[in-house]
Amino acid sequence: MGKNSHIEWTHHTFNPWWGCAKVSPACAHCYAETLTKRFGGAIWGVKGQRRFFGDAHWNEPLRWNKEAQRAKTRFRVFCASMSDVFEDRRDLDGERLKLWALIEKTKSLDWLLLTKRPEAVERLVPWGEHWPDNVWLGTSVENQEWADKRLPKLIAIPAKIRFLSCEPLLGALDLTRFTKKNTIHWIIAGGESAKGARPMHPDWVRGLRDFCEKQGIAFHFKQWGNFAPAPKKLTGQTQFTFPDDLVMVLRNKAVNGRNLDGKTHDEFPPRFPK
């Protein structure tokens, strides 16, 4: 299977441009910012330029689409890991138009558009009430404050599949009031992995898992991140203690893995949810 992404829940990652500006606490240790600073170039923040790409880059999804057709399958494409497609700047409008056309041309790819700016979606897409079947629209939700701000915007949009990325999960979430009419079809959850990572209490992710099970929502637990519940025998790693005395240890995210109460959670939504 073709795959150019290390992210568990996607086959490919496509970035129409690089660069972004921070909008909420989830952005504090932004992976894209750390990576772009390594390459140099002022593509960060409200005043920064964005980095654009040529035809070779834009042709890649056409190739993935052909591969998917040949294999009689579909590939998921995460868009975007190094920017936010719905950053509302006029210098990005031309690239966005190219992206919408590309999405419409690549019917064997499912495009997962993930944004922290759902309030800008309606005015930036050309699809009105008729979204293409191959677009999944998601928003990031790190805590209750941002769930309350972003979810009403997301669920008002008639994308075929709507999803949440609760990573880094920074607090307990109560989503009950947003899921009355089959509004959310998929929830991804995970802890933070970055320098200065913030620990995720296991009960926050358990709460999401149980909520999804009750509501019939597909659930994907991506990772603990750098902090995981402490094993019985501690061997001197950095620790963090929550107010309820639960101890988390700081380790490599690969060591911490993605097992939750003895299970991995890898669900995906049906292509056409009822």
Two tokens at 45?
């923040």
Return the number of the residue (110 or 167) whose C-beta is nearest ligand SF4.
Answer: 167
Q: How far apart are CA 83 and CA 167, in angstroms?
A: 16
Which positions from 93 through 152 interact with ligand SF4, judged by CB under 6 A?
116
Count the Cβ atoms, other than its own, within 10 Å of residue 22.
14
Q: Which of 2, 8, 15, 22 binds ligand SF4 (CB under 6 A)?
A: 22
Q: How far apart are CA 75 and CA 59, in angstroms?
A: 16
Half-sphere exposure of residue 28, counting CA atoms within 13 Å on the CB side?
A: 14
Stretch that binds ligand SF4, among 18-26, 164-172, 238-246, 255-263 (CB under 6 A): 18-26
Q: Cβ 87 to ligand SF4, closest distance in Å?
A: 7
Q: Which of 14, 20, 121, 256 binds ligand SF4 (CB under 6 A)?
A: 20
3-state secondary structure at position 216: coil
Is position 7 an interface residue for ligand SF4 (rule: CB under 6 A)?
A: no
Is position 23 an interface residue for ligand SF4 (rule: CB under 6 A)?
A: yes
Stretch that binds ligand SF4, among 3-11, 17-25, 177-185, 264-272 (CB under 6 A): 17-25
Beta-bridge partner residues of 18:
51
> How many residues at the interface with ligand SF4, by CB under 6 A?
10
Tell me how far apart the 2 most distant CA atoms of the chain are, in Å. Answer: 56
Phi-psi region for residue 41, left (φ > 0), alpha (ψ -120 to 50) or beta?
A: left
Q: Cβ 156 to ligand SF4, closest distance in Å?
A: 20
Q: How far apart are CA 108 and CA 72, in angstroms?
A: 9
Which positions from 149 through 208 interact with ligand SF4, judged by CB under 6 A?
none
Stretch that binds ligand SF4, among 10-18, 23-31, 60-68, 127-135 (CB under 6 A): 23-31
Q: Which of 9, 84, 106, 265 binds ligand SF4 (CB under 6 A)?
A: 84
The CA-atom distances, in angstroms, between 202 and each of 55, 102, 106, 175 are 44, 40, 39, 17
Q: Cβ 24 to ligand SF4, closest distance in Å?
A: 7
Two tokens at 41?
């170039």
Q: Which residues contact 88 (CB under 8 A, 6 or more apart)?
A: 117, 120, 123, 124
Which positions from 24 through 53 interact with ligand SF4, judged by CB under 6 A?
27, 30, 32-33
Two tokens at 34?
């750390």
Q: Cβ 227 to ligand SF4, closest distance in Å?
A: 19
Binding positions for ligand SF4, rule: CB under 6 A: 20, 22-23, 27, 30, 32-33, 83-84, 116
